[in-house]
Structure 1
Amino acid sequence: MAEKMQLNELEVWDGNMAASQALRQAQVDVVAAYPITPSTPIVQNYSSFLANGYIDGEFVMVESEHGAMSGCVGAAAAGGRVATATSSQGFALMSEVLYQASGMRLPIVLCVVNRALAAPLNVNGDHSDMYLGRDSGWIQLDAFNSQQAYDLTLMAFKIGEDHDVRLPVMVHQDGFITSHTAENVYPLSDDEAYAFVGDYKPKNAMLDLAKPVTYGVQTEEDWHFEHKARQHHDLMTKVFGKVQAVFDEFEKKTGRKYNMVEEYMMEDADVAIVALGTTVETAEMVAKTMREEEGIKVGIVSPRLIRPWPFEQMKKALANVKAVACLDRSSPNGALGMLYNEVAATLYQNDNKPVINNYIYGLGGRDFTIDHAKEIIRELDANAKAGKLTTPLQQFVGLRGPKLSFY
């Protein structure tokens, strides 16, 4: 029996500690892991908890991130509650096995500390790995700070393990800006957290020898299409309700409210920024300032749920604005950014079609500053007043040297 850890009502944790404490409180059966910056402290903390008797489970140190997710797939298929963590190149090495996990309907929780992808080599945060995983069939949640990294990791188990869902879940946080920044976090007690997550109830466990099952079968053209269509159908029809139900239950327990699409000062907004991660809190602060100082009615919209894409919630959030800026913290490599593409496709279905443009920013950990946000908001205001783009469709913000813009 694992020993309980006595926590204070208020702890000062960075995002990595917050995530590892949530894994500990969920009493994960197996963590198979290979360390990579900046996510290493999550699994390092977890191994310390195990060594000190706070966990009744297994920590499996493997030879690579591919091996880590493979170990998680095996343990989850066997019938265990399973989790791990990774970043960047490790996430890329896992990518083959991500599809195995979702295709086998294994509710693994993956804490992703977002970091740039090489080359050139960079250990700092951007959303390249987050974007890489968006079509892998995993549910994806995004935390903007350490408290949310803790809360969403607990909620991820409850969402993914629901028998109507049975899909793996990623919880994203920004590398170093969240993962290594100490902030106030209000944790649940061990008993409260475990009671919220609940006992793990496996389905189709390979170690249930009375009910033999097969995993990873070969389907070819006979059934592959049907399998993938069913997985997509369940993501698009079952997950939204389950996510909202878990958010609602968590709010009743803690008073902390989560939405699939978060909105800030959108009630009367003429223009809006759409952003992810730690950028959201910076944008919110600047939006308040710009309303007070320059009279620009700007609001902030941030998808908490990235996959499945919250189509209806995003349509509603942006239904009445005149101009939208989509901020993508990942190199588009010959395209418009992911957020731009998702938002533009969503708003194409609205009667109101605002002017939309795309800002690429913060690659490799480059700061997103207050001045950057102010400049974007002023350009949004100009677009709204003109009823058309007054700037290029896609711009790179905070870039040294000549300003780059496209389209």
Structure 2
Amino acid sequence: MSSKVGKDIAINGDGAVALAWKQINPDVCAAYPITPQTIIVEDFAKYVANAEVDTEFVDVESEHSALTLCTTSCAAGARTFTATASQGLAYMWEMLPITAAMRTPVMMAVANRTVSGPININNDHGDVMSARDTGWLSIFAENVQEAYDMSVIGPKIAENPEVQLPILVNLDGFILTHAIERMTPIETDQVRAFVGPFKPFHPLLDTDHPTTHDLMDGPLFYFPHKYQMVMAMEKAKSVAQDAFDEFAEISGRQYHLVEQYMCDDADTVAIVLGSSFGTMKEAVDRLRGEGMKVGVAMPRVFRPWPAEQIAKLIDGKKNIIVMDRHLSIGAYGPMFPRGLRRGDVNSKVPKMYNFIYGLGGADTQVSDFMGVFKEASEGRAAKVNYVGVHE
């Protein structure tokens, strides 16, 4: 193991993503700066300027242009990365389903930040949730180490021949992007061996085998092509777990489609995404000390949604709390309807509670999460609850 992992370093989440990119050495990177993502491309641009990578770095005039360039670059046969946040992802939105439909496995780091308005630059998941149905894979990190690890694993999943879909690697804005933590990188040769060379499907620059991309799709073909993406998403579940298992062999860090903490004997389980997973672990520990059987889980992979794993997780539980850091105005939180899915494995449907929290960077402390568990366990919670907001 010692020959595969490097020495521990202190680094922030954005720097960790840029380091992973440096080790992978993509062919092309095009991006536009936006807080709190900017450090990723600033750090990576330094690697380019210092000739530490072979990447062609393209400064573009907007996020829409960035993703357009990335999509065409990838279609031409180049491994291509980008990064954005909030309004930047919103500006890219027109291109998101096109990138996915063209089956170009672009990797994008998203420094999760609330979407205006009102204007706000702090963390919630409004940006990535607005992109959840566009055909992109989507995975989440809890801490800086995982931001690095998911950036290494991301291309391995997206570029798999059975998948060939773009991927969003999510890290909470400011909470992870700007927080300096201890991290253990992997040796560069191991990273490159793990990710492997880019093997594009039907690249546009393969003049011996000319192809066309993104033509007009009439009713006869549009639906079947979308269904092919559905099948690719389904295959991505096993591909992702295989990638996690292979990554564990070189890093000693094992990941799963759904990460669980103290869930086996729990009566009440919370489901949460991102950095809040760590905060809720502390809440679980304190409540366990008070004699409450509680646990918490995080879907590592949000797209494709790990329905079978979630169904097994909630089977036999008394209460399920779904924590959403985004608000679907006029409906439940975006994760809540999926948390309701029980599948065929469940013998009894637990009580379900949705808690909306942390919008616009609103501080949610361990004590707040402890209160969430108690409200649900004692039957005092409503179907939909808003943490820290009162009428």
Tell whether 2:45 aligns with 1:47: yes
1:133 counterpart = 2:131: yes
Counterpart pick for 1:14 among 12, 15, 33: 12
Instruction: Report if aligned partners of 1:107, 1:157 keep a CA contact under 8 Å in 2.
Output: yes
Q: Specify the code of the residue in structure 1 equivalent to 2:352.
A: I
Corresponding position: 1:190 with 2:180: no
- Tell whether the 8 Å contact from 1:140 to 1:169 is kept in structure 2 after alignment: yes
| Partner residue of 2:67 out of 63, 66, 69 | 69
Check whether the contact 2:333–2:356 (CA below 8 A) recurs between aligned residues. yes
Match of 2:208 in 1: 210
Instruction: Tell me, yes or no, if structure 1 residue 283 matches structure 2 residue 280.
Output: yes
Give the corresponding residue for 1:387: none
Q: d(CA) in 2 for partners of 1:107 and 1:346?
A: 31
CA displacement 1:49-78 (0-9 Å, x = unmatched): 000111102000101100000000010011
Taking the TM superposition and a 5 Å limit, the aligned residue runs for 1:249-260 are 249-260=246-257
What is the deviation of 1:302? 0.8
Match of 2:148 among 147, 150, 156: 150
1:8 CA drift (Å)? 5.4
1:340 is displaced (CA, Å) by 0.9
- The equivalent residue for 1:362 is 358
- Specify the alignment match of 2:161 in structure 1: 163
Q: Distance in 1 between matches of 2:383 and 2:85?
A: 30
Tell me, yes or no, if the aligned pair for 2:327 and 2:334 is still in contact at 8 Å: no
Give secondary structure in 1 for the equivalent of 2:98.
helix
1:391 to 372, 381, 386: 381
Alignment of 1:110-125 (within 5 A): 110-125=108-123
- Residue aligned with 2:246, SS: helix
What CA RMSD, in Å, does the superposition of the two structures yield over aligned residues? 1.2
SS of residue in 1 equivalent to 2:30? strand
SS of 1:332's partner is coil
Distance 1:154 1:300 in 2: 25
Q: Percent identity?
A: 38
Judge conservation of contact 2:113–2:121 (CA < 8 Å) in 1: yes
- What is the number of equivalent residue pairs in this alignment? 387
Asked if the contact 2:315–2:342 (Cα under 8 Å) also holds between the matched residues in 1, the reply is no
Question: What whole-Å deviation, never above 9, does each CA across 1:143-172 have from its counterpart, x for those lacking one?
Answer: 011100100111011111111111111100
Distance in 2 (CA, whole Å) between partners of 1:165 and 1:8 is 30
- Checking the alignment, whether the CA contact within 8 Å between 2:41 and 2:83 is kept in structure 1 is yes
1:324 is aligned to: 320
Q: Show CA shifts across 1:323-365 (max 9, x none).
A: 0111111122111001111111346973210000111110111
2:289 paired residue number: 292
Distance in 1 between residues matched to 2:386 and 2:342, nearest whole Å: 23
1:4 alignment partner in structure 2 = none
Say whether the 8 Å CA contact 2:316–2:346 is kept in structure 1.
no
CA contact (8 A) 1:347 1:353 kept: no
Aligned to 2:368: 372
Post-superposition, which runs of at least 4 consecutive aligned residues in structure 1 deviate over 4 A? none
Matches within 5 A, 1:170-249: 170-236=168-234, 238-249=235-246
Partner of 1:272: 269
* Maintained 8 Å contact 2:140/2:302: yes
Q: For structure 1, which runs of at least 5 residues remain unmatched after alignment?
A: 1-6, 384-389
Tell me the residue number matched to 2:83: 85
Structure 2 distance, partners of 1:395, 1:318, is 20
Shift of 1:320: 1.9
- 1:382 and 2:378 correspond: yes
Distance 1:230 1:86, change over 3 A: same
